[in-house]
Structure 1
Amino acid sequence: MAVKPPAMKKVCKELVALNRIVKQAGEGVMGLYEARAFESHQKADNTPATGADALADAIIRKGILGISGVPILSEEQETFSLWDGTCWVVDPLDGTKNFMRGEKDFCIMAGLLEHGKPAMGCVYVPAKKELLFAQKGKGAYVQKDGGRVRKLEVSKECKFGKYSVVLSKNHLKQKELSFAKFLGVKKISHIGSVGIKLGEIAAGRAQLYINFDGLNVWDVCAPQIILEEAGGSVFDANGKELQYLQKRFRNGIIATNGKCREEIVAKMREFGSGL
């Protein structure tokens, strides 16, 4: 659905600025990606990081500090501390392994938590020049290569047999695949970035994402508000709302087009995921 320019006046100035900042970070990352010129190392949690992660983090931090005095929580911080429920949450490079392999499914994400709930967020996929963004109560939008802004809307599909499911490319668990098959799903895609996976649901190209292993807050904050504003739903593997009170969501993450939440929760209990 194409959106007339006046509709974009609903989006606050902070989100407009955040979109610009995240796109700037994406341009910096693409410079390293195209030149294949970056260093990499293993972090303390045994996940990879590159010079692109650090570059994007620095650009986003500087940009946010220029528009807001709210604290910033980033994946690239070496320590984690609780906050009062209001802060920026940044994943400077979601899909680092894909970036390192020269694949295109990586993105830059930044979102704002207010009182422990995602309030705005943007996800930029630099290899595709695709920007997804949303603000609580204002809708979700996508802009491709600086072109016309379009409103994001989830699929209305509610039959599991016709679902398209997105699963992890790098961290797939057998029980996630087994649960998708238990639902009777026939189409399964493996994508390497949480932001891109939830974006696929928000755009109506997929209906379900399954993660029984858990994710960190910076993996979820920005894409959650985008999916919810597009009409979708995000909850843990027990069917409960996500609580942004600690670093990691340990009870898994389920993201859907919002049409069959109760049925999915009931199917998980029947399946016996153990979560």
Structure 2
Amino acid sequence: MSAPLNPDVTLRFLALQGLAAEAAALAMRYFDNRDAMAVSLKGAQDWLTEADGAVEALIRARIAEVFPQDSVLGEEGGGEVSERVWIVDPIDGTSNFAHGDRTWCISIGFLLNGTPELGCIAAPALGETYLARRGHGATLNGKPIKAAATDTITRATLEHGWSPRLPVGRFIDTVRALFEAGANVKRSASGAMGLASVACGRSDGYLEGHIDSWDVAAGIVIASEAGARVSDFFSGDWTNGNPILVAAPAVAEETARVAGLSLPSPASALAVSPGSKAGD
């Protein structure tokens, strides 16, 4: 049964779709003219392009116009967390974007009183838009999606994201453990797209030892609504990042065990943290 509708969330759900489409069109204009685009490095393999700043500025401006009481937390501009907060990654997969690889996206999530309510991942270079609202399912280009039915890790294809905040050896050890358990392991260099791939059944799991909220806020809603198991990212001081595990239901527990990560019980997915209130 679908969750009851909250008018405030409904209004933002409708606005989110237009906002994502406008941001995607702007990002594509930069992508199609990369030779004239400013590109720099914030750190080793930490890419920044002119498009990142422009797309985030657009998203912030539109939210300020329509929902001036809401806050925005973005990868490029930072921000504050309030009862109503939009969490934005203007270009996730910036290295791919800068090199002409089409695996990148705009990720926009919305939290109400600490609960992830809305998510949109727009991947215009791939012609894909993932959309979800808590309690109402997930779609890809308007069609319902669901996580894979893969029932054993020896048949699973998993994606392991790399974080520069953790030792390289830890990443390699986890990849080795997953291979030894019989899984196929890959990396696409976009955490948001990794979560979207689990949601639509293209892969069976995505994990990363440390990831930021703007990489996963939208994907957590989308994957959860597609039936995937999702770790409790929004616990503790999530503004500084947390581990993430999103996986097809039948392989989630085994993947978590092999990777040394934890999962909440299936019934507590997207549960409201103590002291907060649900949006519906």
TM-score between both structures, scaled by the size of structure 1: 0.81
Distance 2:237 2:174 in 1: 25
Aligned equivalent of 1:261, options 230, 252, 255: 252
- Compare 11-20 and 89-98 and name the one that shifted more: 11-20
Report the CA distance between 1:180 and its aligned residue. 1.7
Q: Is the 8 A contact 2:20 2:106 kept in 1?
A: yes
User: How many residues get paired?
Assistant: 246
Supply the AA of the counterpart residue of 1:15: F
Match of 1:168 in 2: 161
Structure 2 residue aligned with 1:191: 188
2:268 maps to which residue? none
Q: Deviations over 1:104-159 (max 9, x none)?
A: 0110011101222211010000101210010000110111xxxxx20011111121
Q: SS at 2:32's partner residue?
A: helix
Alpha-carbon distance between aligned partners in 1 of 2:15 and 2:224, rounded to the nearest angstrom: 21
Instruction: Answer yes or no: is the 8 Å Cα contact 1:154–1:201 preserved in 2.
Output: yes
Q: 1: distance between equivalents of 2:64 and 2:118?
A: 17
Matched, 1:249 2:241: yes
- Stretches of structure 2 that go unaligned for 5 or more consecutive residues are 1-8, 262-280
Letter in 2 for 1:167: H
2:27–2:55 Cα contact (<8 Å) kept: yes
Residue type matched to 1:221 in 2?
A
AA in 2 matched with 1:192: A
Runs of 4+ in 1 over 6 A off after TM superposition: 169-172
Question: Residue type matched to 2:113 in 1?
Answer: H
- SS of equivalent to 1:155: coil
Give 3-state SS (helix, strand or coil) of 1:243's partner: coil
Q: Distance in 1 between matches of 2:45 and 2:120?
A: 27
- Per-residue CA deviation, residues 174-193 of structure 1 (Å, 9 max, x unaligned), is 123113213211x3332121
Within the candidate set 224, 229, 251, 2:225 is matched to 229
Q: Is the 8 A contact 1:142 1:150 kept in 2?
A: yes
Deviates more, 1:47-56 or 1:96-105: 47-56
- Name the aligned partner's letter for residue 29 of structure 1: A
Structure-2 residue corresponding to 1:53 = 52
Structure 1: gaps (5+ residues): 1-10, 144-148, 271-275
1:176–1:210 Cα contact (<8 Å) kept = no
2:105 to 97, 101, 107: 107
- The structural deviation recorded for 1:12 is 2.5
**Cα–Cα, structure 1 residues 167 and 58, in superposed 2: closer, same or farther, change >3 Å?**
same
Counterpart residue number, 1:4:
none
* SS across alignment from 1:205: coil
- Give the Cα separation in 2 of the matches to 1:44 and 1:268: 27
* 1:260–1:61 distance in 2 versus 1, CA, 3 Å: same
Question: Kindly, what percent of the aligned residue pairs are identical?
Answer: 25
Distance of aligned partners of 1:45 and 1:76 in 2 relative to their CA distance in 1, 3 Å threshold? farther
Matches within 5 A, 1:70-219: 70-77=70-77, 79=78, 81=80, 83-143=81-141, 149-168=142-161, 173-185=171-183, 187-212=184-209, 214-219=210-215
Residue by residue over 1:238-272, the C-alpha shift from the partner in whole angstroms, topping out at 9 and shown as x without a partner, is xx55416342334x2211012233333333459xx
Residues in 2 aligned to 1:262 and 1:192: alpha-carbon distance in whole angstroms: 24
Match of 1:3 in 2: none
Cα separation, partners in 2 of 1:44 and 1:65, compared to 1, 3 Å: farther
Partners of 1:98 and 1:192 within 8 A in 2 = yes
Instruction: Find the aligned partners of 1:269 and 1:55 in 2 and give their Cα distance.
Output: 38
Task: Kindly provide the amino acid, as one letter, of the partner of residue 49 in structure 2.
Answer: T
Give the CA RMSD over aligned residues.
2.4
Q: Mean alpha-carbon deviation: is it higher for 133-142 or for 187-196?
A: 187-196
Residues 104/170 of structure 1: CA separation in 2 closer, same or farther (3 Å cut): farther
Q: Which residue in the other structure is 1:30 paired with?
A: 28
**Counterparts of residues 62-73 of structure 1 (less than 5 Å):** 62-68=61-67, 69-73=69-73
